[in-house]
Amino acid sequence: MLHLDDARAKHARSVKHRAIRRLVLFFGVIIAVGIAVAFGGIIDFNPRDLQHELKGTGPLAPIIYMLISGALGAVFVPGPVFAIGAGLLFGPWLGIPVGLGGAVVSALICREIGVHMGRSAAEELAGARLGQMTAWLDRYGAVAVIAFRLMPAMPDAPLNYAAGLTRLKRWQIAVGTAVGSIPRTLGWGLVGSTAGGGNGWQAAVGFTLIVGADAGGVVAAILIARHLGMTPKALWRKLRGAPAEHASPNLPTMRIAIDGPAGAGKSTVARLVAERLEYTYLDTGAMYRCAALASLRGVQAPGDIDVDFDANGSVQLDGEDVSLLIRTPEVTSLASQLAAEPSVREGLVARQRELMAEGDWVAEGRDVGTVVVPDAELKVFLDADPLERAERRAAQLGADVREILAQQQERDERDRTRLTSPLKAADDAVILDTTGLSIEQVVDRIADLARERVTPAG
Ligand code: DC
């Protein structure tokens, strides 16, 4: 049977419980320190007396303020609260750097939690899977931190935890957070300083800055989305971790590998299975096709190309939508030849693994179950009678069956006999012969297999 065995379910539960225990301990300490500081006389939280008292504490007060606001930020107290507080307590000139300092401390605390406690703990905290955010942070570094910070309504803490799960260095997080937080910290800081006795114009400038930053963020998001060929909503979903947001928290993360020869119905079936289970679909063949297109355009190292998929499923090569360009006969034939090149496979397999490092995926290709993710939770090898496969393709393309059959045989032969990652079923793959089956029947079967995998044996 395909049930997830008891031991694995038990292990998953114990890992989860351990993460929760550590988090309770961690935040217990933070809250205890906060209470000690608040009621132990180090800081009196009465805002009226506070400004006066702070003058006597010298450089300690801003530092304590930054540390406390940083710690509370890590437990989801919103950033504007601290920026307003800093402006109110320290006035605009000192308050704004203190507010920025608090944002940086918070980002660094979250980073340490992310690094030391791992993804599951960070996900417990962030409430939602961190999805695409980590991939973008890894890819664009401090620039992504700045961009995320500038986005309107982007909550601070999940972003901070996401950054802690990436390869970003502390300085990148610190610089990105400080720079990206400037407009809103400045705005809220000025509002706070007015509340603390400053001029009315400060509040007016502050609100203008906040509204301006939000409006600027919306316009920037629309322009970026347009540049990437996506709708702003799709970009937003992707940034907020769309690949994983559908996943039921009760199910373990699942990667479904669907391999098989051309025309076995992999892409149609994989796309529909992904839709049905609300997983993300990955067409690895499209990546080899992009390599072929890049090579035809004169790129010397087609394994190093930058391929991405947007939320609508279109294929992006270096930011250009090439969904249609990669389906020409010329590209199709060269893709199969390039797919035999170890250097090309190495680059593209690394990118596929990077994409599938988190979230739930249905990936289809030739070597997904054997090479890309040999530990995939479900592997399916789709096959069908060669003539039926050729007939399906010919109907799809409106082409001659004999011609398609000849090309298909040539490609199958090359894919099966190449030395690197030849097309073959993984030993533990479920072989599904789709000859005579409808697409609906195949999708039903794979969705059933997936559900059986994640149903603990009872
Ligand atoms: O699935 P497709 O026809 O779009 O794939 C294009 C080519 O890429 C095909 O000749 C096989 C090759 N390929 C591969 O070698 N490994 C994969 N994982 C996916 C595709």
Q: CA 66 to CA 324: how far, in whole Å?
A: 52
| Mutate-to-test residue for ligand 1 from 255, 269, 282, 284, highest number of ligand atoms within 8 A of CB | 284
For residue 2, how far is its CA from the centre of ligand 1 (angstroms)? 28
- pLDDT tens string, the chain, 458 residues long: the values are 233 345 445 545 655 565 566 556 555 655 665 455 455 554 444 555 666 666 666 778 899 999 999 999 888 788 888 999 899 888 889 999 999 999 999 999 988 887 777 666 666 665 544 655 776 787 788 988 998 888 877 778 888 888 887 778 999 999 999 999 999 999 999 988 887 777 888 888 988 998 888 888 888 878 877 766 566 766 666 565 544 333 343 446 789 999 999 888 899 899 999 888 888 899 999 999 999 999 999 999 999 999 988 767 789 998 899 999 999 989 999 999 999 999 999 999 999 998 898 888 999 999 999 999 999 999 999 999 999 999 988 887 788 999 999 999 998 888 889 888 889 999 999 999 998 888 888 998 998 888 887 654 43
What residue owns the CA closest to ligand 1's atom 20?
Answer: 285
Which letter, b or e, does each residue of 228-245 get, where b requires 16 or more Cβ atoms within 10 Å of its Cβ? bebeeebbbbbbbbbbbe
Q: CA 417 to CA 314: how far, in whole Å?
A: 31
For the CA of 339, the nearest atom of ligand 1: 15
Judging by beta carbons within 10 Å of its beta carbon (0-12, 13-18, 19+), is residue 298 exposed, middle or buried?
A: exposed
For residue 364, how far is its CA from the centre of ligand 1 (angstroms)? 9
For the CA of 372, the nearest atom of ligand 1: 18
What residue owns the CA closest to ligand 1's atom 8?
Answer: 285
- Per DSSP, 4 falls in state B
Of the candidates 83, 78, 100, 81, the one whose C-alpha atom is nearest the C-alpha of residue 155 is 78
For residue 284, how far is its CA from the centre of ligand 1 (angstroms)? 7
As for ligand 1, residues whose beta carbon falls within 6 Å of it are: 262, 284-286, 288-289, 335-336, 339, 365-368, 411, 415
Handedness of CA 348, 349, 352, 353 (dihedral sign): negative
For residue 436, how far is its CA from the centre of ligand 1 (angstroms)? 24
Instruction: Kindly report the pTM of this predicted structure.
Output: 0.50
